[in-house]
Structure 1
Amino acid sequence: MSRRGKLYVSYKVEFEESVKDYWRVRAGQRRRQEDRGVVDVGGRADVTGGQQMKSLTRLIAQVFADEGFPEESIRMHSGLDLPGYYRPTKEWDLLVVHNENLVAAVELKSIASSFGNNMNNRIEEAVGSAEDVRTAFREQLLGPTKPWLGYFFMIADEQKSRNPTRQRTSPAFPVDPLFDEASYQKRSELFCRRLYLEELYDATCYVVSSKEPESQVVQPALDMTFERFVASIKGRARFILSLEDL
């Protein structure tokens, strides 16, 4: 249900509950696999169900709805493929398509295990997806209005993600000193910030959270909070909807 026009400060309560739901869903997926006698490698048992980000996706969709986009313009379950430039199509986690305008495309990703391998995969996915859709727009494959791209990223708060990391290879040239002994949490923060600074995404949100029920949802970077993410959505939504009055 849309809350457009109502006065409220933020989505803080809904956001924190959605993050907690991520961990509840993961735990449920693991239990169901164990009940069936299925054994996955590492933390994969928690995520093979693919539903753990649904509450967060629904919350972001709700922000667009509250700004006035009708239900039929907000896609979370189907019709999520966009044409690409380097490949035929790419599926996103959330699309908003209104009056033949691609209003927004959002990716939601997380890392809760195998931090090294998963971090590299997430970086390659995020950069590639943004570059692909930006170029597809330039080549007039995505309608008349430049799409707003959002990237939501969450990493598990545990000792392995907090520990300093060390370069295990000998690169041909010096590594950016900001990565020297940076933990996976710090590397994630740098990654998300640079996605925004390089204008690959119009807004990024970076979250650290734990599976412990009483733990706090942490947003360590003031420039990448969910509140700022929502503010960027609101700005984009109002711009697009204002075109209807021209």
Structure 2
Amino acid sequence: MSQSKEELEKVSQPETVFHSAIDQWWRAKEKNKSNGTTSQGGSRDTNLAGDTMDGFRDTLVNLLIAEAGVDPADIFTGGQFSSRASNLPSYFRASKNWDVVVCKRAFMQQLERGGYDGSEKLVAAIEFKSQYESIGNNQNNRIEESIGNAEDFWASYENNNFSRLIPRPWLGYLFVGYYAEGDETKTVRIKQPVIPTDPAFLVGGEVHRLQGVQVQGHSYAERYRIFLERMIAKKRYDGACFLVSHEDIRSATVNYRVLFPTLSGAAFVDGLVRHVRAYYPD
């Protein structure tokens, strides 16, 4: 079925759903830099810098309330020791502090109402990550950490740590990176002295796989695309978002770029809201 003119125009327009969040991200980076704080992204940003990803948290919370009808009391975004901690039980460790958690009839709410009956419903959990410098040096660490968090989450789910095998919750991953325009096309050398690299990561794919011990790989941005698309295909994440910004556009009306349409902010929000909306009203 062909798309209407209005639909085509909407697709072609740059998105701005996370404009204020990106603005906050930049302002926090400046503040942290002037204070001598090193930002590491995700939950560690909350611990070290305090507000690096707060704009993304606030945007998602507002959308969940306004568009999905979520009760604000069901949204948890606090640090691991706060009164509204967004902690969930893990499998390979005691707990994990996610950036945003949506849970109906949470444990603390049941206790406040007179007793625990195990009726909580975990609806969604979201992880934030950002990288500002040393994209290449830190990329594998970010990916390894994110794979581990997702595997731990689903192992905990399968172990009935979320009280019981409730309907599958929605797990999301949102990434913000520092990329100048054109960075996404810069190739990266790969050494393959033991076993040839997966051709998906190579420029030229299978054709160039056996041309030598050192070959040209796709850019760091493309590596993230492959990682996120494969995590979604393996159902380790239900939605993923990959956004990039740079000083050249930080003050523009459109202050971030979407390199891969399937990993856009709009697609991420749409998937999250569609899932959560099914739980409200109860």
Contact 2:173–2:237, Cα closer than 8 Å, also in 1: yes
Corresponding residue SS for 1:240: coil
Instruction: Describe how 1:87-166 pairs up with structure 2 within 5 A.
Output: 87-99=93-105, 100-143=120-163, 144-158=166-180, 162-166=185-189
Q: How many residue pairs align between the two structures? A: 223
Partner of 1:203: 239
1:161 is displaced (CA, Å) by 6.1
1:53 is displaced (CA, Å) by 0.7
2:25 maps to which of 3, 22, 27? 22
Distance 2:194 2:235 in 1: 28
1:86 is displaced (CA, Å) by 1.3
Corresponding residue SS for 2:35: helix
Partner of 2:280: 241
Contact 1:115–1:161, Cα closer than 8 Å, also in 2: no
- What letter is aligned with 1:140? N
Distance 1:26 1:135 in 2: 35
Contact 2:17–2:265, Cα closer than 8 Å, also in 1: no
Partner of 1:186: 222
Corresponding residue SS for 2:155: helix
| Larger radius of gyration between Structure 1 and Structure 2 | 2
1:235 is displaced (CA, Å) by 1.5
Distance 1:191 1:134 in 2: 18
Corresponding residue SS for 2:218: coil
Name whichever of 182-191 and 104-113 sits farther off.
182-191
How far does the alpha carbon of each residue in 1:193-225 deviate from its partner, in whole angstroms, 9 at most, with x for none?
222111101101111111333454111111111
Distance 1:30 1:192 in 2: 29
Structure 1 gap segments, 5+ residues each = 1-8
**CA 1:113–1:162 in 2, change beyond 3 Å: closer, same or farther?**
farther
Distance 1:229 1:73 in 2: 20
Name whichever of 15-24 and 196-205 sits farther off.
15-24
Q: In percent, how many aligned pairs have the same letter? A: 28
Partner of 1:6: none
Partner of 2:89: 83
Corresponding residue SS for 2:189: coil
How far does the alpha carbon of each residue in 1:72-95 deviate from its partner, in whole angstroms, 9 at most, with x for none?
111112321111111111111111
List 4+ stretches of structure 1 deviating above 6 A.
none
TM-score normalized with structure 2 length? 0.73
Partner of 2:199: 177
Corresponding residue SS for 1:152: strand
Distance 1:160 1:201 in 2: 26
How far does the alpha carbon of each residue in 1:45-76 deviate from its partner, in whole angstroms, 9 at most, with x for none?
xx641421110111112221121111111111
Structure 2 gap segments, 5+ residues each = 1-9, 79-83, 106-119, 203-216
How far does the alpha carbon of each residue in 1:100-158 deviate from its partner, in whole angstroms, 9 at most, with x for none?
11111000101111122311111111111111111111111113232110100121113
Distance 1:92 1:203 in 2: 15
1:178 is displaced (CA, Å) by 2.4
Distance 1:49 1:162 in 2: 31
1:160 is displaced (CA, Å) by 6.3
